Structure formats: C-alpha cells, structure tokens
Structure 1
Amino acid sequence: MDISHLRENYTQAGLDRDTLDENPFSQFDLWFKQAQEAQLPEPNALSLATASADGIPSLRTVLLKYVSEEGFVFFTNYSSNKSREISENPNVAMMFPWISLERQVIVRGRVEKISKTDSLRYFTSRPHGSQLGAWVSHQSSVITGRKVLEMKLAEMKRKFSEGKVPLPDFWGGYRVVPEKIEFWQGRPSRLHDRFLYTRQQDNQWHIERLAP
C-alpha cells in the first residue's frame, strides 16, 4: 500500500515566543481550553510511552484526569504492564495529539504514585460501573474470553450490592512530573513552530525554539 501522496499543509495558526506564557502549565491550560472549545473528542486522551529496565518501549492511550504545577495525573491498575515498567524505569514520555488543531504537546519526565487519599477521592467520583470495572480487570493479564469479564462483573455486583464500592489496593493514580514540555504548532511547508520548556534547578523554566 503506497500512501505517500497523503499530506496536509498546516495553515491554521502560528506560535511566537512573544505570545508564549512563561509558565508551561499556563500555556497548557490555554491550549487545553481551546481544544475543548473546538469540541475535540477526548481532548484529555494522551499517548503514554514507557520502557522496561532493558529499554524495550511500550505505548498506549490513557486519560489525563488532573493537571497542576506538580504534574499530570492519570489512573490505572498498579499490576498492569505500564505499572510494572514504571516501577522498573520511571522515565516516561506522553503526547497529546490534537491533530485537528494542527497541534501536539509532548511531555517528558518521571512518574510517581499519588497518595492513596487522592486516589480514593477520584475513585469515589467515578460512575458505579467504572468502580466495579476496576475490581473486575487484572489489566494486561491473558484471559480466555470476554465471558470471564462478564462473570467477574456479576460477582462484583453481588459482592458490593450493598454500600459503597471500596478502592482496590491495586488501583490508583500516577503523576508525571515533567522535566521538558514541548508545544508544537503545524505551519506551512513543514516549517512548524516548536518551543521547548526545560525545567531548571531552581524550578524555573527555560524556553527555546526548536527547528522543525
């Protein structure tokens, strides 16, 4: 299959150093709100890249749930492949692919677990079905068929038929603490605008323009 003819000329917007916020989290907040206003599907979806101790990479999509000056937070099963790789190698990369806006945000940093209290706060805000789902799936493990999940869900419905669904001890949040954040804006003739924020030792951010 030859798809070399597929191409777009990016013309929607530009990105200038003078208009960038000095704080990357403020710049991210601006772009995220614009992605919401543009009604992008799942604007909080991001590609998360991890690697094992021997450097073999993995990639998957997760959903951002919180962002603050401390970092970017997502939730998962602590026995999943991604969690095992994070325990071996806490260095990760993540990307928000806002393609219809001709934009990307790329984050590189280290991962840390958030507190159980913060995980519980988010867990209790989830729909009941999602709470049960966290108990049902031993994420990334091999199963014989969907029937296994359906039987386990029925079991959890019976088990937690009265009262609240408790937080599983194998489920919770991670925070990506960024060292570098890149804002990428598509431009004509592939001369894209790219600006990289790099965290300094004093927690200030140094901004540089990158060649496209």
Structure 2
Amino acid sequence: MDQNEHQTDAHRRPKKLIFAPGDIAPTSNEPTPEPQPQAIPASTVLEALRTSTSTPNSTTETEVLSNAARAHQFGTNPPLTISQIHGTNPLHQFNTWFRDPRLPASSAPETCTLSTASLPSGRVSARVVYLKELDERGWVVYSNWGSREGKGGQVFGLSENADTLDAMPEPDSEQPTITAEVGSGNKWGALTFSWASVERQVRVEGLLEPLSREESELYWRTRERGSRIGGWASWQSRVLWSAEPGQMEENQRRKSVIKLQGALDGDEAVPVDIDQTDVEDGRASLELRVKEMEERFAGVEDIPLPPFWGGVRLVPESVEFWQGRRSRLHDRFRYTSTAAMSTSTPPSIPKSSTSPWIILAITSGAFAALNGVFAKLTTDDHTTAFAQSLAHLFGLESSPVIEMLTRGACLGLNVLCNIIMWALFTRALTAGPSTVKVSITNTASNFLATAVFGMIVFQEAVGGLWWLGAAMMGAGCILVGMREGA
C-alpha cells in the first residue's frame, strides 16, 4: 500500500470525537439570558478621564519592594520521572494527561492556543481554539479558514487578488510548498495546552494538514443549529468597523461624561438601550448577517457545511510535556520525530522497527548468562579441570596456586559481567517502551544464553522441560508485543 492509499484509509476511519461544551446540543430549549451591562461608578469614570501620568519615586519604590508580590510556587505534583512517561508515543502520553481526573470537564481542558505565521513577513498570530479529535496522526481542530488576513491565508495561502479562501483544500490535493513567496501557505503551526489546576502544559509543534470534507462534515453535524448559522454568518478576521484615534477618544469621553452626569444625579443605571449612548461598532452588521443566514436556511433542517469551514490536523514534529516544580526547577520531556520535515507534506508518526532498546535488552541477558557461567566456575569442580587445561596449554605443572588464580580470575569476570549486565539493562529500561517488554526480552535472552553456555561449557543436556519453557517464553514475548502494539 502506497502512502496516498494509507492516508486515504486513515481519513475514512471512524473517530472518537472530543466535543467542546459549547458545541454539544443543549438539554433545555430555554434561551440563555443576555448579560446586562453594569453602571460604571463615578470614581472609576473620573479616574478614567485623567490624562496625567505619575513617575515612581523613592517612596513608591520602597513600598513596592517591601510588599513585592511573590511568584506562585508550583507544588501540586511530585517530580516527573521517565518511568511516568510513555516511552515512544506522545499521543498516548497526551491522552493520559488529558484524562487526568483532576481536570474536570468544567475547566475545558480541550481549550488550546493555535499559533501560525505569515510568509514572507514571519509575523506570528495566535488564537484560542478547541481540540476536537486526537487520532493516530495528530491533534484536530475545526474553524473558519476563509480569511486572507487570518489563519486561512497564513496556512493555505491565497492568490494575490483573492480576499477569501473559496474552499478548504482536500488532503490529497497539491498544496503550496513552504516558501517565502507572496501568497504561499505556511503549514508550520503550534498548539499549546495550559492546565493551571494541575500545573501542567503541553506544546505541540508540527505541520498542519486539511481534513477531508467527509471528516469535517461528520463533526459539523454534531454542532447545534445556532453554531452552524454562526459558521455561515461570520467573516473570519474581517474588520467590521474602524475609527481614527481622535474619533475614538472623543466618543469615549462623550460616553463617560454622559454616564458621569447620570451618576452625579443619583441615577447610576445604564440606559436599557445601550445604543442610545454608544456608537456604531459593526455589531449591527454581524447581527444583520446572522438574520440573513437564518432566512436563507429557514426551511433547511440539515444546514450544509460551508466550503471555507473545516478541520485541520497538526501532525507533530515535537511534543513537549511540562510540569511545574518548586523553585522553578520544572520538568520537561520532549518527543521529537526522526522523520525529515523539509517538505510540506506532513509525514505520519514513524513506527520504529528494530529499536536500540531491543539490542540492549538482549545483550544484557547474554551478560547475565555469562555472569552465571563465571559464578559457577568460581566454585564448581570444573574449575580444577579448567586450571589443569590452562597449565598444560602454557607448559606449566598443575598446582593449587594455578587453580586459585583461575578461580580468582573467574570471580573477577563474574563481577565484571554483573556490572555490564546492570548497565545495559538500565539503558534498555530508559530507551524501551515499557518495563514489561524490556524485562521479558532480557529474561528470554538470559534463558536461551544460559542453556547454550551450559551445553558448551559444562556439557549439560537440555530436556523437554527446557523446550517447554522456551516455547512459553516465546509465546509471552508475542503476547506482550501484540498488547503493546494495540
């Protein structure tokens, strides 16, 4: 199966969505009451009308330094160790943190910041979005991409005369390469999750790829009707109203004076119709657009997906997990992709074939077997025969001294093999995906090597029980491998 076929199959797989609270159908049909504006106290208005500024003097500096606000000290979590981190898959590690029971749904842990940059200027912009899916390729968010100035133009690029993105590009269509040319898209992006209640943060950096229209429609159908109308009505990143600074200052001063007069007269209530004292700020244009969309889809039960609206997946190049500690000695663990990221086509997360930890675990098991061989030669009768063979090889007469030297050498080799065994085993645990896989691989290697050395060095016979144990050991390795790969 080639890469395009693999990507197509991946897009068609069913997904488990993570819904944002605002996109789940409400349990009640009662409309949410509009928040009522509160009157501004007269003292606040007078303070706002001041135009002078003050310069800190020695008195204020002394007061500030003597009552300095101390930075928050992180102490919720114990030190983060490598044994608590998934060995190979940052997606699994993210899911573990995301499902932390200390993160209630009311805290909206799916809230994250999406950062993109324009080319060729390199100007970065960021906005808060909701994570909606986490699949085998990366993190998925949905939004309106139909703007030249906003993230749509930054990510997908627009022709020089285009004002909007007419339609979301398909995953298999040709995408603009990552260059600094005018109108080209910049697929690099970043997501940041900040969970203050558990003192944790996750940063994801990589390449953005569009979802297929079928995938976007699947999520679109879960949105409530008002959200669908809003998706059609909103002009992403388009300015609805603007004013010169002088005009803004005059408007603000006029409104403040009117409110101050009302406060001095004993009436601190803001007028029921806020537009009586406010100025046009573009909201009426947006509300008119909403009404137009409501009329357009008045008889349509299933409002279709806008062509400029859809989902993108951030395929990670690096994922950093941060956890706060006292005295700013924070813990950071970062996963980095070994695949080349020089092209605009986001590669899938590579699956390692023969990892270094396997070689380390097997070698550690072999040295454990050698450790047993030399331990046996230190105390066994075979040492006498071995010492006589060495004396005969070098033309020496057999003596207790040669036998003692041989036993001492075997003891030294025993200690050396033991040190090497533990060093390799510790490195295998550090590099391996799990302690279970490393331990079983190490034990299987030790089991087989011990039998081979026993047959060669001590002429030991291998019976049926050994073959039964070898078969069970192999079956255990297969089962653990299947369980870890699931």
Assess same fold via TM > 0.5: yes
CA–CA distance in structure 2, aligned partners of residues 185 and 49 of structure 1:
21
Decide whether aligned partners of structure 1 residues 18 and 58 sit closer, same or farther in structure 2, where only a CA change above 3 A counts.
same
Which residue number corresponds to residue 74 of structure 2?
10
In structure 1, runs of 5+ residues without a counterpart are none
Amino acid at match of 2:83: D
Q: Choose the corresponding residue for 2:292, options 126, 140, 155.
A: 155
1:35/1:98 contact within 8 Å kept: no
Deviations 1:7-60 (A, max 9, x none): 111111131101111221111111111166444522111111111112111111
Aligned length: 208
In structure 2, runs of 5+ residues without a counterpart are 1-55, 57-63, 157-184, 242-281, 340-348, 356-429, 432-486
Secondary structure of 1:48's match?
strand
Which residue number corresponds to residue 229 of structure 2?
132
Secondary structure of 2:207's match?
strand
Decide whether aligned partners of structure 1 residues 157 and 62 sit closer, same or farther in structure 2, where only a CA change above 3 A counts.
same
Which residue number corresponds to residue 203 of structure 1?
350
Once the two structures are TM-superposed, the CA of residue 158 in structure 1 deviates from its matched residue by 1.2
Name the TM-score, length of structure 2 as normaliser: 0.41
Where do 4+ consecutive residues of structure 1 move more than 3 Å? 1-4, 35-40, 204-208
Which residue number corresponds to residue 107 of structure 2?
41
Which residue number corresponds to residue 94 of structure 2?
28
Residues 1-212 of structure 1: matches in 2 within 5 Å? 5-13=69-77, 14-22=79-87, 23-34=89-100, 37-39=103-105, 41-54=107-120, 55-80=122-147, 81-87=150-156, 88-144=185-241, 145-163=282-300, 164-201=302-339, 203-204=350-351
Decide whether aligned partners of structure 1 residues 143 and 35 sit closer, same or farther in structure 2, where only a CA change above 3 A counts.
farther
2:76/2:199 contact within 8 Å kept: yes
Secondary structure of 1:141's match?
coil
Identity percentage of aligned residues: 39
Q: Which has the higher strand share?
A: 1
Cα RMSD (Å):
2.3
Greater relative contact order structure (CA < 8 Å, 6+ sep): 1
CA–CA distance in structure 2, aligned partners of residues 156 and 38 of structure 1:
36
2:103/2:109 contact within 8 Å kept: no
Secondary structure of 1:182's match?
strand
CA–CA distance in structure 1, aligned partners of residues 92 and 234 of structure 2:
36
2:103/2:197 contact within 8 Å kept: no
1:36/1:43 contact within 8 Å kept: no
Name the TM-score, length of structure 1 as normaliser: 0.91
